[in-house]
Amino acid sequence: MCESKGRQILLPILSETVAEFSLELRREFEKRGFSTRIIPKDEFVLLPSGFQEDSEFVMGKYLSHAPKKDIHTLLEKYEIASPRSFVFPQVVYEHKDVGPHSTGIWSNEGHVYSPYVSLLHRSLDFFDQLYGEGQGGHVVQYQGGEILHRVLHRVALHHGYESVWVGFSPVEGDFSIFENESVEWDSFSDTELNLSPADADRARDFLHEFRDSRAAIGASGEESPNLSLISRTISVTQRRLRRLIEFQGGKKALIRRFISRRTRQIQTNLRAKYTVWRGLDESESHSLITDSKYIFYPLQYFRESRVTVRAQPFYDQAWLIEYLSRSLPADHELVVKPHPQQLGSLPRQAIKAIAQYAELIHPDVNSHDIIENSAAVVTLNNTVGYESLLYGKPVITLGDAFYDGAGYTHDVKNLSHLAERINEAIQSGGLSDEEILEVAHRVLSGSHKGIWSDPTEDNVERIAESLTEYLSQRLTESNNQLSGPQSR
């Protein structure tokens, strides 16, 4: 353990839905000798009892902090080339009426970014000062593109602390651990792999279960069956309503908020119906994927960090699909399926554009059927890409994916080479049976038991154990690098 950097952990939270879990996780960290400070995103993240000290620290210092250094100095220090690009993920996430091909707030060029760049300035200056005074710590946080997440990551690393990310795992009931925003799993970092007979049997069982279930990864959600979801939802809603009344003008604010949410829901439902109408029906979809040669591109939800952080150039997927459609071999079609949990998220203009250049498959068609009959799969970094590898299909990735580090995918770093890479992928014939087992093994090896946000004792204990073990290993490696070889 690197004692020079202390045993302090900073644990940012972005929503009160994980407040109880975070409190329990802090207690588990402290049992293992780590002092932990909770960092709520803003004043609207209401905290239950047990957070008084953290709340006072954040509300009294972070949220009211006035920057002392100019933003250009801070951007240069923390190697942020473009502040707008850096805050882009949070802008997209928070403006629910905005999306690719939509009109509205994006037409007021520049205005939407101003408050977010100011937040970036304040956050950089506050944590720069905090770490400079020796009050920082190692960062442990769930993956995301919010400004608080990204600033803490940059500042901690700059000052020699560890930054540990927790994220999605395709193994049900598990989570992943990684150390950068590219979501690079350690288990996919080594190109060579020798499976023991036991490893191969475990991977084979996992593979058979995946194929037999034919379920979409993540479709069942990430909530633990032990949680009282209704009770937690009521508690969170009550805290939100109290804070909304306190900060935003009482009942009128509640009414405006309700009308806004209801309007957005109606618009989403209408867009979902339009999406289905523009595409093929179920029968036509099954006929196409049975009788045609095609490349499959699964639409991704444009607001999630998989797109806004790890595939930012492809935020406008309607444009990408047009380009992809003219990069295919002459005898192949392009098949696109809407994101099943985000149907209606894209505006009509985007769906209309996509339908002009690709066959829009009905959302009820099982992705397993589309994958099995495809010649290849093109994805930004979707879990469909991982599923396709388990079927041995050639996968072309355009963004950073957790499964792209060991040579199983065809990665496109220069988009002008897309057509060439697609042809290369098709001609490769996909993965061998041995490689498929290796992918399954790497996923199992990089997954850890536990569900982030579930505050039950056993679950939190498992997560804390995995995280402190990983953090201790990282600190030991850092210590060894700092000490270096002894002089002769």
Concatenated DSSP letters of 389-444: HHTT--EEESS--TT-SSSSSEE-SSGGGHHHHHHHHHHHT---HHHHHHHHHHHH
User: Are 458 and 386 found together in one domain?
Assistant: no
Looking at per-residue pLDDT, the higher value among 456 and 480 belongs to 456
Domain annotation covers residue 430: yes
Q: Residue 104 — very low, low, confident or very high, per pLDDT cuts 50/70/90?
A: very low
Which residues pair with residue 379 across a beta bridge? Answer: 397
CA max distance for the chain: 75
| The pLDDT value given to residue 139 | 97
Model pLDDT for residues 115-139, shown as the tens digit of each residue = 999 999 999 999 999 999 998 999 9
Q: Provide mean pLDDT across the span 159-170.
A: 95
Which structural domain, as residue segments, surrounds residue 105? 3-185+448-483
pLDDT surpasses 50 at 223: no
Which residues pair with residue 188 across a beta bridge? Answer: none
pLDDT surpasses 90 at 142: yes
Domain annotation covers residue 261: no
pLDDT surpasses 90 at 268: no
| The pLDDT value given to residue 476 | 83
Q: Amino acid letter at 272?
A: A
Domain annotation covers residue 106: yes
What total number of domains does the chain contain?
2
pLDDT surpasses 90 at 371: yes
| The pLDDT value given to residue 272 | 83
From 284, 364, 370, select the one nearest 335 (Cα to Cα).
370
User: Are 80 and 143 found together in one domain?
Assistant: yes
Q: Provide mean pLDDT across the span 243-256.
A: 57
Q: Give me 7's structure tokens.
A: 């045993």
User: Are 384 and 467 found together in one domain?
Assistant: no
| The pLDDT value given to residue 202 | 97
User: Are 431 and 463 found together in one domain?
Assistant: no
| The pLDDT value given to residue 91 | 92
| The pLDDT value given to residue 264 | 72
| The pLDDT value given to residue 28 | 95
* Percent with pLDDT over 70 in the chain: 81
User: Are 398 and 308 found together in one domain?
Assistant: yes
| The pLDDT value given to residue 216 | 65
| The pLDDT value given to residue 103 | 47
Domain annotation covers residue 389: yes
| C-alpha R_g of the chain | 24
Burial class (CB in 10 A: 0-12, 13-18, 19+), 222: middle
Model pLDDT for residues 327-353, shown as the tens digit of each residue = 999 999 999 998 877 787 788 888 899
Q: Give me 41's structure tokens.
A: 């995103």
Domain annotation covers residue 253: no
User: Are 159 and 210 found together in one domain?
Assistant: no
User: Are 113 and 15 found together in one domain?
Assistant: yes
What does the DSSP 8-state code read for residue 448? E
Domain annotation covers residue 398: yes
Q: Which of 14-28, 201-215, 255-269, 387-401 has the lowest mean pLDDT?
A: 255-269
The answer to whether 278 touches 347, Cβ cutoff 8 Å, is no
pLDDT averaged over the chain? 85
Model pLDDT for residues 165-196, shown as the tens digit of each residue = 999 999 999 999 999 999 999 999 877 788 89
CATH code (residue 284): 3.40.50.2000
Q: Which of 90-99, 206-215, 216-225 has the lowest mean pLDDT?
A: 216-225
pLDDT surpasses 80 at 295: yes
From 295, 289, 318, 315, select the one nearest 304 (Cα to Cα).
315
Domain annotation covers residue 387: yes
Give the global pTM.
Answer: 0.86
Model pLDDT for residues 448-477, shown as the tens digit of each residue = 999 999 999 999 999 999 999 999 988 888
User: Are 80 and 206 found together in one domain?
Assistant: no
pLDDT surpasses 50 at 486: no
Q: How many helices (H) and strands (E) does the chain have?
A: 18, 12
User: Are 180 and 205 found together in one domain?
Assistant: no
User: Are 60 and 162 found together in one domain?
Assistant: yes
Q: Give me 396's structure tokens.
A: 């072309």
Contacts of 290 (CB under 8 A, 6+ apart): 373
Domain annotation covers residue 236: no
Looking at per-residue pLDDT, the higher value among 150 and 213 belongs to 150
Q: Which of 33-47, 82-96, 98-112 has the lowest mean pLDDT?
A: 98-112
What's the start-to-end Cα distance of the chain, in Å? 26
User: Are 288 and 391 found together in one domain?
Assistant: yes
Q: Provide mean pLDDT across the span 222-231.
A: 41
Contacts of 127 (CB under 8 A, 6+ apart): 136, 151, 152, 155
User: Are 470 and 436 found together in one domain?
Assistant: no
